[in-house]
Structure 1
Amino acid sequence: MTNVGATGIDARGGGLQVVVATHNPHKVEELQRILAPLLPGVELLADDGPEAVEDGDTFEANALIKARAAHERTGLPALADDSGIAVAALGGEPGIHSARYAGTRVDADNVAKLLAELEGRDDRAASFVCAAAWVDADGEVVELREWTGTVADAPRGEGGFGYDPVFLPDDADGRAAAELSPEEKDARSHRRLAFTALAERVAGR
């Protein structure tokens, strides 16, 4: 990857700083693991600025809103994602409202509300969805990917965050996302798929 954004620094030579537009340390850690082999030499910096108002009506729109705000404030290339769980029986909800579904922004509360909404329903098909966005002086790139599965009857596992304890990926041998190791999750998750596609497009510009 060469000459990314306004810095003109070759990531292969190290030293390219990229701000991640999130206050969630779990996301920063996960993205560092995912992107390290894809963009060697890139240093991800947690965003310590005010949170952008996510008033878009799609995952892509909200990811770009956050990345634009971080880039404009810092002058650095910026990464952001907007992720959530979309449940078929709920018409795609909670979707872009996933993080605030219960009104408290507490993972356990969101999970409890989702399970209550699905109580007694046979159709528990769902997808984890991630829109990954990159904004720099050269323009904007956004990619959307999904990780399909179903919603469990009760939380399982101790790993991950968000809805991981109740999401049963189709490709995880019946285990919840929270029961996967970080390496197993990174290899197949919606975030891995979206940010891999994003990194390939940015590197090819």
Structure 2
Amino acid sequence: MKLCFATNNAHKLEEVRQILGDRFEIVSLKDIGFEGELPETHETLEENSLEKAEYLYERFQMPIFSDDSGLEVQSLAGRPGVHTAHYAGDRNAPKNMAKVLEELNGHADRQAQFRAVVTYIDTSGVKQFEGIIKGHIAPEMTGVDGFGYDPIFIPEGYDRTFAQLSADIKNTMSHRKRSVEKLAQHLNALN
């Protein structure tokens, strides 16, 4: 079965291909000839994920899945949330992390979660799948591996940040993996 994952991010594409394995042929936006930006005009992960999937499905009429994900910090009322990638104004991970750390100054509660919402569309309709990894925000940036907010996020059950854990360990628990595994169960049920 051939599916388009609404991304050109090589890291995300590889992660999803590993999760879904050989059962599905996963193609990128570039592979289907889409160039440009996908719309993300809403204030929730669910709405943005749906908007991207619908936008592509209308144009390409093939099975599409998109994701939207974010870091949700309890003491910050769920921020950065849907604005995770541009929290400090642009796609600058160190600036984004610094803003979260600064806003958490004086907060004892550092609970947080990464949450991903995957939207799948085909001729049978629309389904959404959520994946969550709970943890807390470290007092400072630590570690060199990973990307995004990995240097400040410590997953439950660990005392090190995602950026200090191996990719193999991180991939066993990622929020994207959890949502994509639910998608895989849905796809297997369809076939």
Q: Identity, % of aligned pairs?
A: 38
> Match for residue 33 of structure 1?
18
Greater alpha carbon shift after TM alignment, 191-200 vs 72-81: 72-81
Correspondence 1:192 to 2:177? yes
Partners of 1:141 and 1:202 within 8 A in 2: no
Superposition deviation, residue 174 in structure 1: 0.7
> Match for residue 62 of structure 2?
76
Partners of 1:21 and 1:78 within 8 A in 2: yes
> Match for residue 186 of structure 2?
201
> Could you tell me how far apart the structure 2 residues matched to 1:113 and 1:24 are?
24
Partners of 1:17 and 1:77 within 8 A in 2: yes
1:76-110 residue CA offsets vs partner (Å, 9 max, x unmatched): 21121110100010001111111111111122221
For 2:135, what is the secondary structure of its paired residue? Answer: strand
Partners of 1:133 and 1:142 within 8 A in 2: yes
Superposition deviation, residue 17 in structure 1: 2.6
Change (3 A) 1:202 1:170: same
Q: How many residues align?
A: 186
1:124-143 aligned within 5 A: 124-143=110-129
> Match for residue 100 of structure 2?
114
1:81-92 aligned within 5 A: 81-92=67-78
Unaligned runs of 5+ in 1: 1-15
TM superposition score normalised by structure 1: 0.84
> Could you tell me how far apart the structure 1 residues matched to 2:14 and 2:67 are?
14
Question: Which consecutive aligned stretches of 4+ in structure 1 deviate over 4 angstroms post-superposition?
Answer: none
Q: What value does the CA root-mean-square deviation take over the aligned residues?
A: 1.5
Superposition deviation, residue 64 in structure 1: 1.3
1:2-31 residue CA offsets vs partner (Å, 9 max, x unmatched): xxxxxxxxxxxxxx3321112322211211
In structure 1, what residue type is equivalent to 2:15?
A: E
> Match for residue 152 of structure 2?
166
Match of 2:7 among 1, 22, 44: 22
1:179-198 residue CA offsets vs partner (Å, 9 max, x unmatched): 22222111111111111112
